[in-house]
Amino acid sequence: MTTVLGLYNYWIVIALMMIGFYVVIAASNLIKKIIGLNIFQTSVFILYISIGMREGGAAPILKEGVEVYANPLPHVLILTAIVVGVATTALGLSLIVRIKEAYGSIEEDDIAEKDGSL
């Protein structure tokens, strides 16, 4: 695949990234913002893994008679990043819970309003 269509993986990634970006900046609900961040994050994962893919490459588990493997390095990075991602998501969600307890709302506008009236 040597035409310009060989770049399709980047375009999927960019589309997903922009969807996530849009949710983060446009959604007013904080949980939805977190989901947007997660979509953004997944797009980065896909970027790395698709870079690590190789024509005719097998999964990077050494076997007799297999010569071409996918690149293991992005796999390692992304594998840890997924777990770290869920840990940080949990941190963000617990922040949301505390915000709800302090402000009584998880809508950005309400929170800004309350801050302004303080």
Partner 1 sequence: MLLVTALGAVFIRDLFAVIMLFGIYSLVSAGFFLDLSAPDVALTEAAIGAGVAPLLMLATLALTREKTTPQPRAKRSIHTSLLPILVVTMTGAALVYATFDMPFIADPAGPAHNHVAPRYLQASGAEIGIPNVVTSVLASYRGFDTLGEVFVIFTAEIGVLSLLGFLADGSGRQYWQFEDTANLRRHNILHVVSKALIPVILIYAFYVQFHGDYSPGGGFQAGVLFAAGFILYAMIFGLQAAYRVVSPTALYWAMAIGVLLYGGTGVASLLLGGNYLDYNVLGSDAVHGQHNGILIVELGVGICVAAVMMSVFFKFSGRTAHFYDDRREVRK
- For partner 1, the binding residues in 1-60 under the rule CB under 8 A are 1-2, 4, 6-12, 14-23, 25-26, 28-29, 31-32, 34-36, 38-39, 42, 45-46, 49-60
Contact predicate 34/42, CB 8 Å: no
Query: Which residue in 65, 98, 114, 115 binds partner 1 (CB under 8 A)?
Result: 98
| Measured distance CA(5)–CA(57) in Å, rounded | 20
Nearest approach, Cβ of residue 116 and partner 1 (Å): 16
CB of 44 to partner 1, least distance (A): 11
In angstroms, the Cα distances linking 29 to 25, 48, 107 are 10, 29, 5
